[in-house]
Structure 1
Amino acid sequence: MHSVRPFVVSAAAVAVLAAAVTGCTQKADSEGNEDGAVEVIAKDDSCEVSETEIKAGHVELAIENKGSKVTEVYILFPDDRIVTERENIGPGTKQRLTAEVKPGSYEIACKPGMKGDGIRQKVTFTGQGAADKRSPELDKAVAAYRAYVQQQADETLPKVKVFTDAVKAGDIETAKKAYAGSRIGWERTEPVAESFGDIDPKVDIREDGLEQGQKWTGWHRLEKALWQDNKIGDEEKALADQLVADLTDWQKRVGTAEITPTSMGNGAKELLDEVASGKVTGEEERYSHTDLVDFKANVEGAQKAYELLRPVASKNDPKLAEELDKQFAAMSTLLDKYREDKNSYAFTSYDQVTEPQRKELSDAVSALGEPLSKLAAAVVK
């Protein structure tokens, strides 16, 4: 969850995230400090980048948060689309981020508190990098993932229409039944949707994540109306139409997203971050308690990206592939314990999941998140 979808992070959530995302990546091709990485020092009032001219291709950022707030670091296109990101970097911690970057002008942004536009540094990536020499196997993986993302968007719109039609008809119970299912495709591919920057805060922001003056729209605004307020008025009906319009925009634009093998690997890890920061804590679906549906969809999306990258990852780092196979299987088995119907997306309401059970889920996320944080680097070795 990045700054266009900010949230209040509890101490427990930060601890989970630190466990889930820790892991070193391999040496990058870019020039920077002695191990080849570009250093980024994030503070509460500055974003220090060790160099502003960087060799294009496979780039590694060595990030250290020397501030007092949880932060995020992005590489951004000039139009604010996201090349890559690392979220939930706790104070006093270090992270590594591997990405493929084409030659051109960009910005590196640090976002203390994970809100606002962040503190930005202009950088230029120069020359022809290793990303231009991608193998046919990786090209195939990117093409297959692009098709998957488009399919998820295409399949989401009819499900959203069922949900919003019920809202506009004032049918609270039918809307409640359709709500969680309408979010599955989005949750499976959320990092790609977030890469556009402007769609996510319209459709998937929570109330405590709103920027000053921002109108609350999207799924969670309607979730609150249905479960907490138990009423649908003219405003909610108008918001239902807006949700369809915003998601139609997503559907049309998703095919233009910048997708690379490293963005697939980083995106898989981001989906586990989504689980750790919102689903395990119960913050995401705080009114409907349908968190386990989102949880499952996030894991499925991460697994799809991994499976497409696995042929290359298993050759470059067989032990990593073996561990990821093991942890994805364990996660699937654990989540199946909460399925009310083994052949559907009917899961136990999250308010019925006990604290020891939540701890077990959290531990499983950490066990999967640690090796998954190494996937992007593994595919570009």
Structure 2
Amino acid sequence: MRAVRLSVVTAAATAATLAAVTGCTEKSTAETDDHVVAVTATDTKCEVSKKEFPAGHVELAVENKGSKVTEVYLLFPDDRIVTERENIGPGTSQKVTAEVKAGDYRIACKPGMKGKGIRQDVTATGSGKVAKRDPRLDKAVADYRAYAQAQADETLPKAKVFAAAVKDGDIEAAKKAYADSRIGWERTEPVAESFGDIDPKVDLREDGLEDGQDPEKDWTGWHRLERSLWQDKKLTDRDSELADQLITDLTDWQKRVGKAEITPTSMANGAKELLDEVATGKVTGEEERYSHTDLVDFKANVEGAEKSYELLKTVASENDAALTKELDKQFAALNTLLDKYRPNKDSYEFTSYDKVGKADRKELSDAVNALAEPLSKLAAAVVVK
């Protein structure tokens, strides 16, 4: 679920990971490179070094000078997300690379990672087209879109089995179908933001609701039904309505995949953001707090991120061979670790997460963080030099 993150990587850990990208270097680069926009975030401001930059590849060089953890977004005017970076601790810096066409955009900083953020209007100038890119990257985007479409196509019938069980009032059958119905969605989460408002409709947790929203009226999707099945242990007419709504929303998702705005850098950035979410909101057990099927989501997320990486790897390895070597190593290590909780490697059955102890959760978190750090450099490695 990518609409809200409830936990934060500690500032100390983030600072250690990001020590190589301090603010002074970023500011000087922003002054000499038209494609770099320095973003200075505080608890009350979001300052940008320039309001116009050439279309093509843009780098946001973000420095958090506030006292709160922040997020920085590059948005289309209608609030669709071009790229984002979350969990930027106080006193730390991060670089985010994106690919943009000529047009109007907004840069938003979200102190405390809440609300709509402090916004600055910016413009990408040029002919309306991005700079020519390696045709292998165009193929990577096409292949990832085909992958996402296949996941959506495979998810819908599984979700219908789940929804039918809910509508029949068969709690045990619905529980059995629940995790399996989510795998395809979780695999496509690296580009979930490109599907518009589908994510909060189908994958929102209760504490992700906006102020003023009513959990009984405004909360929809898998996790609302998860609560009914495992915590409430009963199914009502409202649950039947929610099951129908879930199928409607997933059908909408299936249709949107072909039109989604996907770029090589959005694939790379999305994979990194997803791994951050796994480390801060899924390893903790917050995602599947009632069903404890977290490891199913976890594995599907890693598969989706790895698919994105594998499609970008050929170009990335030419620009940064050391990076792809490290990514190969860390993906393999994380998959090996996850297999400890998977008795049958040919199935998607994992240990119930409430049976995974604190030390083991820490081991999983460390493995995800070890992967997320080099993954943060993948977007820059696919930019044409």
Q: TM-score, normalised by structure 1?
A: 0.92
Alpha-carbon distance in structure 2 between the residues aligned to 1:358 and 1:55? 44
8 Å contact from structure 2 (residues 5, 277) kept in 1: no
Partner of 1:321: 324
Counterparts in 2 of 1:248 and 1:20: CA distance versus 1, 3 Å: farther
Alpha-carbon distance in structure 2 between the residues aligned to 1:123 and 1:176? 47
Q: Percent identity?
A: 74
Q: 2:31 aligns with which of 33, 36, 40?
A: 33
Q: Does 1:247 align with 2:246?
A: no
8 Å contact from structure 1 (residues 138, 309) kept in 2: yes
Counterparts in 2 of 1:196 and 1:33: CA distance versus 1, 3 Å: farther
SS at match of 1:202: helix
Letter of the aligned partner of 1:158 in structure 2? Answer: P
Alpha-carbon distance in structure 2 between the residues aligned to 1:116 and 1:329? 37
SS at match of 2:349: coil
Alpha-carbon distance in structure 2 between the residues aligned to 1:23 and 1:251? 41
Q: 2:352 aligns with which of 349, 354, 360?
A: 349
Q: 1:271 aligns with which of 269, 274, 282?
A: 274
Alpha-carbon distance in structure 2 between the residues aligned to 1:75 and 1:309? 22
Counterparts in 2 of 1:10 and 1:58: CA distance versus 1, 3 Å: closer
Q: Deviation per CA, 1:313-340, whole angstroms, max 9, x where unpaired?
A: 1111111111111111111111111003
Q: Does 1:9 align with 2:7?
A: yes
SS at match of 2:77: coil
Alpha-carbon distance in structure 2 between the residues aligned to 1:329 and 1:11? 23
Q: Tell me how far 1:19 sits from its aligned partner.
A: 7.1
Q: 2:363 aligns with which of 357, 360, 363?
A: 360
Q: Tell me how far 1:55 sits from its aligned partner.
A: 1.4
Letter of the aligned partner of 1:264 in structure 2? Answer: M
Alpha-carbon distance in structure 2 between the residues aligned to 1:251 and 1:270? 22
Q: Deviation per CA, 1:142-188, whole angstroms, max 9, x where unpaired?
A: 11111111111111111111111111111111111111111111111
8 Å contact from structure 1 (residues 16, 366) kept in 2: no
Counterparts in 2 of 1:231 and 1:216: CA distance versus 1, 3 Å: same
Partner of 1:153: 152
Partner of 1:301: 304
Alpha-carbon distance in structure 2 between the residues aligned to 1:87 and 1:128? 31
Alpha-carbon distance in structure 2 between the residues aligned to 1:10 and 1:149? 28
Relative to structure 2, which stretch is displaced further, 35-44 or 197-206? 35-44
SS at match of 2:329: helix
Q: What pairs with 1:57-76 in structure 2 (closer than 5 Å)?
A: 57-76=56-75
Alpha-carbon distance in structure 1 between the residues aligned to 2:147 and 2:299? 17
Q: Tell me how far 1:53 sits from its aligned partner.
A: 0.7
8 Å contact from structure 1 (residues 21, 373) kept in 2: no
Counterparts in 2 of 1:170 and 1:11: CA distance versus 1, 3 Å: same
Counterparts in 2 of 1:286 and 1:326: CA distance versus 1, 3 Å: same
Partner of 1:221: 224
Alpha-carbon distance in structure 1 between the residues aligned to 2:328 and 2:288? 29
Q: Tell me how far 1:193 sits from its aligned partner.
A: 2.4
Alpha-carbon distance in structure 2 between the residues aligned to 1:196 and 1:63? 26
Alpha-carbon distance in structure 1 between the residues aligned to 2:130 and 2:56? 5
8 Å contact from structure 2 (residues 190, 305) kept in 1: no
Q: Deviation per CA, 1:44-86, whole angstroms, max 9, x where unpaired?
A: 2221111101111111101122233322111111222111111
Q: What pairs with 1:1-381 in structure 2 (closer than 5 Å)?
A: 5-9=3-7, 32-34=30-32, 37-128=36-127, 131-214=130-213, 215-380=218-383, 381=385
8 Å contact from structure 1 (residues 280, 362) kept in 2: yes
8 Å contact from structure 1 (residues 262, 376) kept in 2: yes
Q: Tell me how far 1:91 sits from its aligned partner.
A: 2.4
Letter of the aligned partner of 2:367 in structure 1? Answer: A
SS at match of 1:183: helix
Instruction: Please list every run of 5 or more consecutive structure 2 residues that lacks an aligned counterpart in the other structure.
Output: none
Q: Tell me how far 1:110 sits from its aligned partner.
A: 1.4
Q: Tell me how far 1:129 sits from its aligned partner.
A: 8.9
Alpha-carbon distance in structure 1 between the residues aligned to 2:65 and 2:347? 45
Alpha-carbon distance in structure 2 between the residues aligned to 1:86 and 1:362? 19
Letter of the aligned partner of 2:30 in structure 1? Answer: G
Answer 1 or 2: higher relative contact order, Cα 8 Å, separation at least 6: 1
SS at match of 1:144: helix
Instruction: Please list every run of 5 or more consecutive structure 1 residues that lacks an aligned counterpart in the other structure.
Output: none
8 Å contact from structure 2 (residues 21, 93) kept in 1: no
Letter of the aligned partner of 1:126 in structure 2? Answer: T
8 Å contact from structure 1 (residues 21, 269) kept in 2: no
Letter of the aligned partner of 2:92 in structure 1? Answer: T
Alpha-carbon distance in structure 1 between the residues aligned to 2:167 and 2:12? 41
8 Å contact from structure 1 (residues 16, 362) kept in 2: no
Alpha-carbon distance in structure 2 between the residues aligned to 1:335 and 1:118? 36
Letter of the aligned partner of 1:92 in structure 2? Answer: G
Q: Deviation per CA, 1:323-373, whole angstroms, max 9, x where unpaired?
A: 111111111111111003211110001110111111111111111111111
Counterparts in 2 of 1:56 and 1:136: CA distance versus 1, 3 Å: same
8 Å contact from structure 1 (residues 81, 195) kept in 2: yes
Counterparts in 2 of 1:303 and 1:7: CA distance versus 1, 3 Å: closer
Alpha-carbon distance in structure 1 between the residues aligned to 2:236 and 2:21? 51
SS at match of 2:40: strand
Alpha-carbon distance in structure 2 between the residues aligned to 1:249 and 1:16? 39
